[in-house]
Amino acid sequence: MFSVQAVVLESIRTLRVRDIEIAEKLGAHDVRVRIHTVGVCGSDVHYYQHGAIGPFVEREPMVLGHEAAGVVEAVGSAVTSLRVDDRVCMEPGVPDPNSRATRLGLYNLDPAMRFWATPPVHGCLRPTVVHPAAFTFRLPDNVSFSEGAITPVNIRDENLTELVRRATGGWGADVVFDAVGLLSSFTQAIEVLCPGGCVVLIGVPGAPVAFDVVAAQVKEARIETISATPMSIRARSPCSAAASSTCAH
């Protein structure tokens, strides 16, 4: 147990930057990462506003943040895939490696998943984290810390459609992950999608959502869903291996 300065959600709508005790030890298969960039996800905002997401209720102070990138500053004795000074991003959910879900290749659905910033697990808005090397990934030189942390585009200030068009030479994104669940975000997901692309619905709408079927048909869009819980954070789909993607926050 040691003390670090972190962004702590004390209670609903009460955030503090303060010291908090964290229990983390560098194991043989772990790496210690100095955090550089953390994206603010809708779930962080939801915990801030409501103190809970479904059955996951904040009952004591919790460090927020789960979309992070940083630099490896130490490696465990058995780690061979990463080195000190590697730029990395981290999978925020760590399953039980021996669970049935994990052995079936469905680790994101493991009921024993420990997910950053999901009660009672602390998040990564702090100087360093210890994380399994198997869930820590080296960033290519052409991928920034911000991109590695999935820092969202603020659509109040920037035009997402134009940003995607510029980034893809006008083609559109191969895969669009909608993590919001609003009619406006779903409509924009279809808009920025490339022909034959895939929209993955992660966000949970508060009510049934209508959308432009013809706009999706014109592009022959594929629409897939995933379980919107901390145990399921990635789409299991053929299109998930596509070359480019975007995240609508």
Per-domain residue ranges for the chain?
Answer: 2-148, 160-248
Give the whole-angstrom CA distance, residue 179 versus residue 96.
25
Give the whole-angstrom CA distance, residue 34 versus residue 32.
7
Q: What is the CATH superfamily name and number for domain 2-148?
A: Medium-chain alcohol dehydrogenases, catalytic domain (3.90.180.10)
Chain position carrying tokens 């960033």:
139
Confidence of residue 228 (pLDDT cuts 50, 70, 90): low
Confidence of residue 233 (pLDDT cuts 50, 70, 90): very low
Give, as one character, the DSSP assignment of residue 107: G
Confidence of residue 184 (pLDDT cuts 50, 70, 90): confident
Looking at domain 160-248, does it have CATH number 3.40.50.2300?
no
239 SS3 class: helix
Task: For 39-89, write each residue's pLDDT tens digit.
Answer: 998 889 999 999 998 889 999 999 999 999 999 999 999 999 999 999 999
pTM of the model: 0.74
Query: Which residues fall within 8 angstroms of residue 249, CB to CB, at 6 or more apart?
Result: 41, 42, 152, 153, 179, 180
What are residue 89's DSSP bridge partners? Answer: 69, 137
